[in-house]
Each structure stands twice: as C-alpha cells, then as structure tokens.
Chain A
Amino acid sequence: MTERTADKYADWQSHDCGCGMPHGPDGGHAPGCDGAAPEAGEARTEEGLLKTPLHALHEELGGKMVEFAGYSMPVQYPMGVLKEHLHTREKAGLFDVSHMGQVLLVPRKAAAAEKLETLVPQDIIGLKEGRQRYALFTNDAGGLEDDLMVANKGDHLFLVVNAARKAPDIARLRAGLEPDVVVKHVTTRALLALQGPKAEAVLSALAPEVAEMRFMDVRDVVVDGVELWVSRSGYTGEDGYEISVPADAAEDFARKLLAHDDVAPIGLGARDSLRLEAGLCLYGHDIDETTTPVEAALSWAIQKVRRADGARAGGFPGAGRIHAELAESASRVRVGLTPEGRAPMREGVALFAAEDGAEPVGVITSGGFGPSVGGPVAMGYVPAALTAPGTVLYGELRGRRLPVAVAKLPFVAANFKR
C-alpha cells in the first residue's frame, strides 16, 4: 500500500491558475502543473454548445456534429458508424472524449483514498500506485449516481467521470471530501481514447514506455515536451489507451496519431455500438439512480474488503441495501439479450415472459445492431429467475412480440493486455 501523507499538502490552497491543481504557499506549482493560465471563458458554438479542444479538427475531418451532454460532438465521420466500428476492432480508432470530467483529489489533512471510500463501495486504499479501478458513486438507496475511473497517481488520485454527471459528481466530491481533500476539476486538458489492436504500436511509436503498461495501468509520459496522463483502458472491449493531454497541445497530438495509416477518427455512434458489444453500461440508460450495483450485474466491481464480511465493510451510501443484495441477489438483474430475428430492439422495448404475457417483466435499456456480431444485440433488466443464458423472452416491437434470448455478456470477447 502506498502512503499518501497529509502533511505535504497541509497548507496548500485551491488556486486556479488553470492547471487544475492546488498550489503551495510559496506559489510553487503542484505536480503535473505547467503554470498555464486558464482560458478566458468556455468556447461555445453559435448554438451555445460547448466545444472540445478538438472541435475544429472534427469539422475539418468531416465529423457530423451533434449535441451530447451540452457539447458539440462528432457522432460519425464520412467513414460511417458501421465501418468506424469495424475499423476500431481491426486496427485502431481515435475518440475525442474531452467532454468527460477529469478530477484530481489531492490530500491535505487526510488521505484522498480514505475519504473517497466514504462515497464509493470500492477498495481505493488498496489501489496501488500506477493502477486504475472502475468505481461507482452510490446514493443512500443503493442506486448509482455515476460510474467512474479512479487512478492512483502516487501523491493524488485522478478521476474520470461521465460528461452528463460532472456537476453532481463534483458537488458530491466537494461535500464529502473537502476541506480535508482538495477537489480540483481539470478544465484545461483534453481526453482522447486510442482503441483497438493497433493502439499499442501506434502510441508506443511516440512513447515507447506505454508498451510495458498492462490493462488498467496508469503512467505519465512526455511526448515532444508535452505531459500525457495515460491509462491502458477504454470503453470498447479492445486494448487501448485513454490519454489526458493539455488542451493547447491536443490537436497536434491528435494529428500525430491520425497520421498513422492504421488510425481513423471515430464518432460517438461507433463508441456506443462498441461499448454495447463489450457489455459495458452507459450511465443514464443501463444504470441510473434507481439501479443498484447488484441489479446492474456490477457486483464484480465491489471488492471483498468493502463487503459485509470485509475489513472495511460498508461506510459508503446505500451499504445496507447493497450488502443485502450481495448476500441474497437482487430481484431484477441486467443481462445481455440477443433478438432472434434481424430487427434491432432498442432502449425502451418491453420484455414479456411469454408471447401472450399480459404484463411486461422487463425492459431493454440499450440495444441496436452489433456490427462485429453481425446482428442485433441488447442489454436490459429481467427478473432474477429469468437470467439464465438461453432463456427466451419476447420483446414488443411495433405491436408484435418477437423472441429474444438472454445471452452472456460480453457479446464480443474482450481483447485486453492483462
């Protein structure tokens, strides 16, 4: 276990020079800070949508821009969703995920990991330096307020949260952690994801040390004088990296990656079909305030030490219900679903236990065409008794009940470098 002592930052204050880090009383910069001044205001489109640092590049590349979580984001490029999806699984795709929230937790009077454990049911104290872990913000009812990544960067924690949940997440962190831990929202860095079997070859050509990283490792690397915060992770089921890069260096860095023959820009459309095939949850769809970790089939993300018989059992919101469900299982559970016909079944399609069933027993929360599967795939919630793979249910599509089978997740085997 890594010691994160409080003393080092005892007198440090939140100090917005734009680097997103607190500064020492002597005015010295925190680790990871280049002293850059904050940008004057947020860049917005004429429609009032936020622009990421790669906005101009998206337009240059022919990205079809749509609103997503208040941002103008590319849903696809001229290649199209289907080919972008397949390209990512075959070679490498570059995604702009700068709309996501990047947050630093810097210890002042208490260790950040100990404090964060009061908000999430994960083992954060045991997270080793240089490692990242999937985590969940829970509420008092055991529901999910967001899912996030937590990385141990040695003298601080680095969090990545969903775009649409940035404001409530940061409010939750400030209320729960300050003043003992400084919560800094990083607004001067872009976030890119490079995903696919060629990702390692492409990124290691610029930063050789990333080839040594394993799945969920984190590391800072310098490329052409620019500090990158790299994690070996992603949201596609493929090997790859997520890379935090200073906003003013983001376009140059993206161009360096795109210059490689194997790299294509990929929009949100393919990001969604890739994560669906990988069986990964989309917050606000597959998980939300009303779904618990056990219902969402995310029990694997709750380490033993935080469970009822663990050394640091409970101590997070909703522990009572979550512990009870871990012991006895939940009444409904998220499962994979494979429609037997060719028609996609999308979010909101009601599921029935029988073709002539009177009342729905479940609902699809994500669904569409899986390009790598070559057919429709979906996820949804069904009663615990109906979760066995192969169980046939009926989805109501345009007034007809069509068979759909419970399937094991993921639909496409993960391709991580463990």
Chain B
Amino acid sequence: MTKYTEEHEWLEIDDENVVTVGITQHAAEQLGDVVFVELPDAPKTVSKDDEVVVIESVKAASDILAPLDGEIIEVNDAIVDDPSKVNDDPEGEAWFFKMQIEDASALDEYMDDAAYKKFIA
C-alpha cells in the first residue's frame, strides 16, 4: 500500500522493509519542469527530516527530506542523467531512492491514497 507525506513524497514498502521514495504527480506539476536532481551517495544512514535530495525546477530549488529513519541503500541515477523523467513519470520510473527501515509501522503516521487526495484537494 502506498503512503504519502505532507511533503508530497510517496512511500512504497516491500516485504523486506525496503521503502521506495519518490514525489507525487501533484508535486511534480507544482514544481514545473525539473532541470536538476542531486541524490546522496548510497549507502547512507539518515534520520527522519534530514535533507537528502536537492531538486531544482526552472522556477526554484527544493529539498526532499528523509521521511523515515533508516539507511538509503540505492538511488535512481537515471533521474540525475535526465531530470525530465521526474515530470514524465514521477510515481513510477522516476523514483528517487530506496531505504531500508527497521519497522514497517513507522509508515503508519502517513496518509493513505484517499487521505492524500483530500490533502491536496
């Protein structure tokens, strides 16, 4: 089940507590054309709310915060090479990073699909 943060990130957890993180379609539309993405070097241990990614659109620079405590184990270099993928497929191909977390219940605080839709409405 996909979860959403108020920072407009989507989080998808698998059976081994690996969470894939990206930004939502709504966020990508608000940002406008993305022209630069800077990802951390994996592996990297992070705490919730650490600034881990810099994303710049034609308009402005934004930070993406780590949504959870854990270790970033993989980053998506394809969006560094071609930042426009973030606009083309933000909730699919253009994921940002994967992080290993201890406890899946850490996602409980975040919104589900229905709650996020309401949040951005």
Contact = CB atoms under 8 A, between A and B. Distances in A.
A369 B58 contact: yes
Contacts of B84: 82
A81 B33 contact: yes
Contacts of A24: none
B36 A368 contact: no
A60 to B, nearest CB: 20
Interface of B: 32-33, 35-36, 38, 54, 56, 58-59, 61, 84, 87
A82 B61 contact: no
Nearest to A81: B58
Contacts of B56: 343-344, 369
Contacts of B32: 76, 80-82, 269
A398 B58 contact: no
Contacts of A219: none
Contacts of B35: 82, 344, 369
21 contacts: A75-B59, A80-B32, A80-B33, A80-B87, A81-B33, A81-B58, A81-B59, A82-B32, A82-B35, A82-B58, A269-B32, A269-B58, A269-B59, A273-B58, A344-B35, A344-B56, A344-B61, A369-B35, A369-B36, A369-B58, A398-B54
A342 interface: yes
Nearest to B29: A80
A102 to B, nearest CB: 29
Interface of A: 75-76, 80-83, 269, 273, 342-344, 346, 368-369, 371, 376, 398
A369 B61 CA distance: 11
Given A82-B84, A269-B32, 10 more contacts: A80-B33, A81-B33, A81-B59, A82-B32, A269-B59, A342-B36, A344-B56, A368-B58, A369-B58, A398-B54
Most buried by B among A75, A76, A368, A369: A369
A344 B57 CA distance: 9
Contacts, number: 37
A376 B59 CA distance: 13
Nearest to B38: A343
A82 B56 CA distance: 13
B46 to A, nearest CB: 16
A154 to B, nearest CB: 42
A82 B38 contact: no
Contacts of B61: 344, 346
A323 B58 CA distance: 39
Contacts of A269: 32, 58-59
Contacts of A81: 32-33, 58-59
B25 to A, nearest CB: 14
Most buried by A among B35, B59, B61, B87: B35
Contacts of B58: 81-82, 269, 273, 368-369, 371
Contacts of B54: 343, 398
A376 B83 CA distance: 13
Nearest to A76: B32
B84 to A, nearest CB: 8
A273 B33 CA distance: 13
A82 B34 CA distance: 9
Given A343-B56, A369-B56, A82 B36 contact: no
B104 to A, nearest CB: 32
